[in-house]
Amino acid sequence: MNEECDNVAIQQYCADRKLFDMLDIKCSSGNVYDNENINSEVPMVVGYKLRNIYKLGENYEMFNYSSDEVMTVKIVGLLEPGSTIPSLYNIGSSLNLDYAVFMPISNNLINNFANLDMAINSTVIFTDDETNLLNISKKSAELNLFSMQYNSIQSNIDGYLEYLNEKLQSRIMTIGIISVFSIGSMILNLFTLISRKRKEFSIHLMMGAIRKDIMMQLVCHIGILFVPAIIICLIIEGFNSTFLYTVIFSALLMIILLILPIMRIKRMDIATMLQKGEM
């Protein structure tokens, strides 16, 4: 469209209700239209960022770039913020709908060469038999219609999967390096804690405490670091699969961190701990 909002060009789409249902695009207020006019008014759904320009339930005069005519539209729905539709050509990318308007699509829009060319070139067909597509192309040539040639989108999908694998490997490597340094640093911190508190630990043992009590002190020391992070994750993500994976990963990390310090405590006798604690 020739109109802008927030210095962003407004995009005009024609689509039926199946698009919204298939991609689970929902309205924050109002409803998605059915492919029927409301009296003489054409129902229209607008993107969230256009809510101050087009008011729900109001009528507006708008130029339809598909039919090349001015029409009266009625705003029947406002999309949820951040709504998107996937691009079927650039696999992995998506189109933001915050600055988009949607009107019903109908056969009478295919009334000129430009619209017909746009409709054919933007068609994506899902099929299990490529022979059907070849037959369509041959039939179009026989009838002297558009020159049609279908290309497989699989190469685009394969390219995007390769891109995702490279990104995933890079992230796993980065996480691995950070984890190694973090675990090493925290284990060293625990060894330092044990060295500082040898005398205190030995006195506890002589007073009747057991080594499990000392180990629990280490667990509490580590827990002070992990619990706040888990609480923050719960607040941000809520109780979902991401939160559960975070808790499981944190528990495994705590176990890894405590293995060496606990083994060191088990191997030290009271006399050695008391002697080194006094030095």
pLDDT over 60 at 134, yes or no: yes
- 166 and 268 together in one domain: yes
Q: What is the mean pLDDT of residues 209-216?
A: 73
* Residue 81 to residue 185: CA distance in whole angstroms: 43
Instruction: In whole angstroms, give the CA distance from residue 208 to residue 206.
Output: 5
- When pLDDT is cut at 50, 70 and 90, the band that residue 51 belongs to is very high
**Structural domain count of the chain:** 2
In a domain, 139, yes or no: no
In percent, the amount of the chain with pLDDT more than 90 equals 17
Residue 121 lies in a domain: no
In a domain, 252, yes or no: yes
Give domain status of residue 124, yes or no.
no
Last residue of a domain, one of 111, 143, 171: 111
Residue at 132 is within a domain: no
Mark whether 85 and 163 lie in a shared domain: no
pLDDT of residue 80: 94
Q: Is the pLDDT of residue 189 over 70?
A: yes
Q: Is the pLDDT of residue 78 over 90?
A: yes
pLDDT of residue 279: 40
CA pair distance 99, 48, nearest whole angstrom: 7
Domain that holds residue 182: 156-278
> Do 77 and 55 touch, CB atoms closer than 8 A?
no
DSSP 223-265: HHHHHHHHHHHHHHH-SSHHHHHHHHHHHHHHHHHHHHHHHHH
d(CA 68, CA 66): 6
With a cut of 50, say whether residue 6 has pLDDT above it. Answer: yes
Whether residue 78 contacts residue 45, with contact meaning beta carbons closer than 8 Å, is answered with yes
Residue 74 CB contacts under 8 Å (≥ 6 apart), including other chains: 38, 41, 42, 43, 44, 57, 58, 59
**67 close to 108: Cβ distance less than 8 angstroms:** yes
Q: Between the ranges 11-20, 30-39, 192-201, 239-248, where is the mean pLDDT highest?
A: 11-20
pTM: 0.54
For residue 278, name the pLDDT band (cuts at 50, 70, 90). very low
- In a domain, residue 125? The reply is no
Region 10-17: what's the mean pLDDT?
88
Residue 127 lies in a domain: no
CA angle 54, 44, 15 (to 5 degrees): 140
Q: Is the pLDDT of residue 272 over 80?
A: no
